Amino acid sequence: MIGRYLGVRNSRVVPLAGSPHQLHWLIAQAGNGEHACATLRLENPSDPRDSVIVRAVPLRTGGAFVGASADVLLSVETVAVEEDPAQLLKSRFGLTPAEVRLVAQLNGGKTLRQAADLESISYETARTRLKVIFHKTSVSRQAELIRLLGTLDR
C-alpha cells in the first residue's frame, strides 16, 4: 500500500506526487525531537482522491549527547474518501442513472407522484422503477430506502 504514495530515490524516502521537501522537513524535525505531532498529506499520483496522512514519530526521545538525532518511524494512515452518493448507489447496488435520479427525488422529500412528474415519467413507470430499486437494494419500503441512504457513507 505504501508504494502508492512513497518511493526511494538516492537512498531517501520521497513522495511519488509533489515535492519531497515537506516530507524531508517532517522527518528531520521528528528526528531532532521537534514537531513530533506534525503530519503531511500525500496523494496517490494516479488518483488524487486516494490519499494518506504521514506522521513522523521519533523512536527515542533523547540522545546520548546534545544534537543527537533519533531514528524516525513513518506512520501512514489512510484517509476516508467521501464518495458521491449517486456513484455509491451505482457501484454498490447496480442502479441505473434513471433509478438514481428517482431515489434522489425521494430522498429530497418528494412523493413518488411528484418525483414522476419531475422526471417526466408516468406514475406507473415510477412505481415499477421503485419496485426494481427495492429489489436491488433489498428493502421493501420507501422509509427503509431513505434509511439505507443515510448509512451509505459509513
Between residues 153 and 92, the one the model is more confident about: 92
Per-residue burial over 119-135, b if 16 or more Cβ lie within 10 Å, else e, is: bebeeeebeebbeebee
pLDDT in tens, 10-40: 888 888 887 788 888 888 888 777 766 678 8
96: number of Cβ within 10 Å: 14
Name the residue ranges covered by the structural domains of the chain: 2-78, 85-151
Which option is the CATH number for 85-151: 3.80.10.10, 3.40.50.720, 3.40.1190.20, 1.10.10.10? 1.10.10.10
Confidence at 116, pLDDT banded by 50, 70, 90: very high
Residues 6+ apart with CB under 8 A from 137: 93, 95, 145, 148
pLDDT at residue 83, rounded to an integer:
63
